[in-house]
Amino acid sequence: MMRAVPPRVHRPAPHQCPPGPSPATKASMPNPPNTLPEKPQLTRALEKNDAVQDTVERSAQELLLINKVLEKEIPSAVKTGDVAMALVKTAELEDKIQDLAQELAHVSELLQQEIAERAEMEKKLHAAETAVARKSPPTGS
């Protein structure tokens, strides 16, 4: 019951960052000069999902290799009782891990779509704000 893990779109490996300050703390802190803005939460979620997906895919491949070795190297006469049950359970676990890898790939696709949609909406919002600002009379004392 071996299924291939779906291919992934290659993205640079995510890096782990310590958690940032709370929103309340951020509001009271001035923005330091020359710092990059914090990544949006969905982008961080996508990076975390990709890291987990990589780990799950590697684990599935390792388990597949282990199962092949065990099936080949364990004599048929020994593949009874607990040994037979262990081989069946590892094959079931392999299938489950591969299913989870596919689910994670789907979650990555959904997150990528959401990020793209939000970026497009932010662009439209910025354009609308700019248009309104051009039409508004200047305010002043």
pLDDT at 40 (0 to 100): 84
- CA–CA distance, 58 with 55 (Å, rounded to integer): 5
pLDDT at 35 (0 to 100): 60
**Domain edges within the chain:** 41-109
pTM as predicted: 0.59
- CA–CA distance, 36 with 20 (Å, rounded to integer): 13
pLDDT at 16 (0 to 100): 40
pLDDT at 4 (0 to 100): 52
Residue 127, amino acid: A
pLDDT at 12 (0 to 100): 42
- Enumerate residue ranges in the chain where pLDDT < 70: 1-37, 138-141
- CA–CA distance, 36 with 56 (Å, rounded to integer): 31
* Residue 5 neighbours by CB under 8 Å, 6+ apart: 57, 60, 61, 98, 101, 102
